[in-house]
């Protein structure tokens, strides 16, 4: 927790202003909470999104169906206006079964539990074969140099550090191997890359996720291996038992296709030209139902509209629930939303994103001006009874980031992070991994923040 959060905690406890306004606001937030816990539809809607729509990578039939179905949910929730924002998105396809094996010095081979990284190129039809080179860091790779790397398959076996209490910190540290690893290896002549799955737990589920090729480097195939698989492969390498590794993948990037952000709006009663954006991203990886990533953020945003309507709350400022398209492998939806925002004669005062899972909310992160933060700080006591205590400096979300140059205060919901990385981008990110109460509690504090900004502005 940053120093800022402590300041906020102190500030809020002593703020006379907060105490003065807290009674009526506290009652209203309790009403919202009761409505969400008694009649909430987010969980049912999430079941639909996960089980009837399913995986919805940008450009896929699932994504198209998700656009249609969340537009329906927003209409049913009671949004005044529901519309689509067209945007072109990349269309990456995994193709048929991906296989890998380690050929051992005794002539036998063992299968490698792999999946291609998102946006990666596939192998030739005959696959790729190479000696394996295990490294734990870029420094180690670069110290080996082109002579030793050339023609090899590089295995980045960087373990997510379990000592970080916030798993996003460990994810940030380890994530560079997934995003930059292929190009850094290719620069030294590697023919392929295997990245240890970004997960703190040992299991057999490889996690995908986007990689990013440097345009001036050869694009080489890149896969993730499960954590158990990484441990096994590393053991075999240490024992000198691996002769070569074979990988065959079939993924490729097709032409961009048309897709959409989905927007549902409640028009502000007093300041309709001040816009509050609340959302999550609608696309998911192809391997997962995208329950926590990020079905929950989308369903929570729709539920805010529904609960306001159900309670007859007419927000003073306009509230838009936005399902952003293409967060996972392009961010085209978030970029398009900000691009359109720039052309609208409105003020985009605040944007709140929920894209860290539908877990119990612990706090918020803020990227905002001092004046904006000061006002938000005065509301902090209202969140206490919902256990949402940690107000941290810095935060927002990938999709709302492009709004920052417009002066928009960005807020990220920070749920408890312990379980997220276990299932993130893996086939285990399914509806059953979501707790209805945790999901609802997240909605409540998001709705409270939206309500307060809609009442008082920023």
**Does residue 231 interact with a copy of itself by CB under 8 A?**
no
Conformational region of residue 240, where left means phi above 0, alpha means psi within -120 to 50, and beta covers everything else: left
**Does residue 88 interact with a copy of itself by CB under 8 A?**
no
**Does residue 289 interact with a copy of itself by CB under 8 A?**
no
Size of the site for a copy of itself (CB under 8 A): 32
Helix (H) or strand (E) holding 390: strand 390-393
Q: How far apart are CA 298 and CA 357, in angstroms?
A: 11
Which of residues 13, 24, 27, 146 is near a copy of itself by CB under 8 A? 13
**Does residue 3 interact with a copy of itself by CB under 8 A?**
no
Helix (H) or strand (E) holding 88: strand 81-93
Q: Are strands 409-415 and 153-156 parallel, antiparallel or unpaired?
A: unpaired
**Does residue 9 interact with a copy of itself by CB under 8 A?**
yes
CB 252 within 8 A of CB 220: no
Binding segment (CB under 8 A) for a copy of itself, from list 115-123, 305-313, 402-410, 415-423: 415-423
Burial class (CB in 10 A: 0-12, 13-18, 19+), 130: middle
* CB nearer to a copy of itself: pick between 162 and 407: 162
Which of residues 168, 386, 406, 457 is near a copy of itself by CB under 8 A? 386
* CB nearer to a copy of itself: pick between 76 and 436: 436
Which of residues 21, 99, 250, 418 is near a copy of itself by CB under 8 A? 418
Binding segment (CB under 8 A) for a copy of itself, from list 123-131, 177-185, 270-278, 432-440: 432-440
**Does residue 200 interact with a copy of itself by CB under 8 A?**
yes
Residues between 28 and 87 that touch a copy of itself (CB under 8 A):
33-34, 37-38
* CB nearer to a copy of itself: pick between 13 and 146: 13
Burial class (CB in 10 A: 0-12, 13-18, 19+), 147: exposed
Q: Which of 42, 54, 66 is nearest to 439 (CA)?
A: 42
Residues between 151 and 190 that touch a copy of itself (CB under 8 A):
162-163, 165, 167
**Does residue 19 interact with a copy of itself by CB under 8 A?**
no
Contacts of 371 (CB under 8 A, 6+ apart): none
**Does residue 258 interact with a copy of itself by CB under 8 A?**
no
Q: What is the DSSP letter of 198?
A: S
**Does residue 265 interact with a copy of itself by CB under 8 A?**
no
Q: How far apart are CA 148 and CA 31, in angstroms?
A: 65
**Does residue 201 interact with a copy of itself by CB under 8 A?**
yes
Any idea what the Cα angle at residue 298 is, between residues 296 and 304, rounded to 5°? 100
Which of residues 70, 249, 360, 392 is near a copy of itself by CB under 8 A? 360
Q: Is the peptide bond before 294 cis (omega within 30 degrees of 0)?
A: yes
**Does residue 362 interact with a copy of itself by CB under 8 A?**
yes
* Packing angle, helices 370-378 and 16-39, rounded to 10: 70
* CB nearer to a copy of itself: pick between 17 and 165: 165
Q: Are strands 317-324 and 271-281 parallel, antiparallel or unpaired?
A: parallel
Q: How far apart are CA 225 and CA 231, in angstroms?
A: 10
Least distance to a copy of itself, CB of residue 386, Å: 6
Q: List phi, psi (to 5°) of 307.
A: -70, -40
Least distance to a copy of itself, CB of residue 160, Å: 11
Instruction: Give the residues lining the site for a copy of itself (CB under 8 A).
Output: 1, 6, 9-10, 13, 33-34, 37-38, 162-163, 165, 167, 200-201, 360, 362, 384-387, 389-390, 416, 418-419, 422, 435-438, 441
């Amino acid at each position: 927790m940053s120093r800022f959060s402590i300041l906020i905690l102190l500030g809020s406890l002593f703020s006379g202003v907060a105490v003065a306004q807290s009674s009526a606001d506290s009652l209203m937030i309790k009403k919202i909470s009761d409505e969400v816990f008694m009649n909430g539809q987010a969980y049912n809607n999430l079941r639909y999104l996960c089980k009837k729509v399913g995986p919805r990578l940008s450009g896929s039939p699932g994504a198209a169906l998700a656009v249609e179905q969340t537009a329906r949910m927003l209409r049913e929730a009671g949004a005044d206006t529901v519309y689509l924002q067209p945007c072109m998105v990349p269309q990456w396809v995994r193709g048929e079964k991906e296989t890998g094996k380690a050929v051992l010095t005794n002539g036998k081979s063992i299968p490698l539990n792999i999946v291609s990284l998102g946006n990666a190129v596939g192998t030739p039809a005959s696959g790729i074969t190479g000696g394996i080179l295990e490294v734990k860091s870029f420094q180690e790779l670069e110290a080996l140099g082109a002579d030793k790397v050339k023609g090899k398959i590089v295995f980045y076996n960087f373990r997510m550090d379990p000592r970080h209490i916030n798993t996003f910190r460990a994810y940030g540290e380890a994530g560079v191997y997934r995003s930059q690893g292929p190009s850094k290896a290719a620069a030294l002549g590697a023919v392929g890359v295997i990245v240890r799955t970004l997960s703190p737990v040992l299991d057999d589920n490889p996690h995908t996720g986007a990689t990013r090729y440097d345009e001036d480097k050869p694009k080489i195939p890149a896969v993730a291996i499960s954590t158990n698989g990484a441990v096994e492969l590393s053991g075999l390498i240490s024992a000198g038992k691996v002769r070569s590794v074979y990988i065959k993948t079939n993924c490729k990037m097709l032409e961009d296709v048309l897709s959409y952000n989905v927007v549902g709006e409640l028009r502000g009663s007093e300041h309709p030209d001040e816009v509050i954006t609340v959302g999550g991203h609608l696309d998911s990886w192809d391997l997962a139902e995208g329950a926590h990533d990020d079905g929950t953020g989308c369903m929570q945003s729709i539920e805010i509209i529904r609960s306001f309507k159900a309670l007859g709350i007419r927000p003073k400022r306009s509230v838009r629930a936005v399902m952003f398209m293409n967060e996972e492998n392009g961010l085209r939806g978030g970029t398009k939303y900000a691009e359109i925002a720039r052309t609208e004669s409105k003020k985009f005062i605040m944007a709140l994103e929920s894209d860290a899972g539908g877990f119990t909310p612990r706090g918020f992160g803020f990227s905002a001006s001092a004046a904006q933060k000061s006002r938000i700080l005065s509301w902090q006591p209202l969140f206490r009874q919902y256990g949402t205590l940690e107000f941290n400096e810095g935060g927002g979300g990938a999709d709302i980031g492009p709004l920052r140059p417009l002066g928009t205060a960005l807020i990220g919901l920070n749920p408890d992070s312990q379980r997220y990385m276990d299932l993130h981008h893996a086939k285990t990110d399914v509806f059953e991994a979501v707790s209805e109460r945790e999901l609802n509690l997240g909605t409540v504090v998001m709705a409270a923040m939206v309500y307060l900004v809609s009442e008082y502005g920023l």
